Copies of this chain bind each other. A is one copy, B any other.
């Protein structure tokens, strides 16, 4: 089971960054008022179209971002073109790799994305001054590591149909984190194309399509316009996800 964020709604955040308004796991809640003012001066909001590359492999990273809305896919590729999605970032995740000059992964907007971007140098400096900021980053990084390991089980040991069920379940749990985690049903727009889902699950487009069709004909999900998914019984879906 994909780790459900446990600290998204930790209510101990006193202040917000002026420009990004990100609470939750964003970095801003960890800063004191002076730092926030300084950060707000250099940060800026961006709207990103789907498909736009945010960080290229082996590119220098000179900024960090908070994801305010939308979904960012993190990918790694092999030299012959094979690709694997190694993570999805939802709001309010932090995007960037501290302590490294260049990125080992690509980041690309999977949907329309809005970001709050800060210069790397500013955050790096604040990280030295503010243990609370580093503490936040450690927490997010540990959560991402848990997610990555959970996904390794899916990639290495699950069948195609279990993979697709696991994917839908993970999206249902992340796309609207304000939703009741004990809810029995869910409805959402898929943030990824079939090709992206295939790259996430280590499958082909055709196999993803066939498994989605099977879930649909078996009455586990309903799909409209190839994007909008309704799951009446999350429990039923979970039983197909291989536990």
Contact = CB atoms under 8 A, between A and B. Distances in A.
Contact of A152 (B98, B135, B148): B148
Contacts of A202: 155-157
Interface in A90-143: 97-100, 104-105, 131, 134-135, 137-139, 141-142
B149 A76 contact: yes
Nearest to A83: B157
A131 B127 CA distance: 10
How many subunits of this chain does the assembly comprise? 2
A206 interface: no
Nearest to A155: B155
Contacts of A201: 156
Interface of A: 3, 74, 76, 78-80, 82-84, 86-87, 97-100, 104-105, 131, 134-135, 137-139, 141-142, 144-146, 148-153, 155-158, 199, 201-202, 242-243
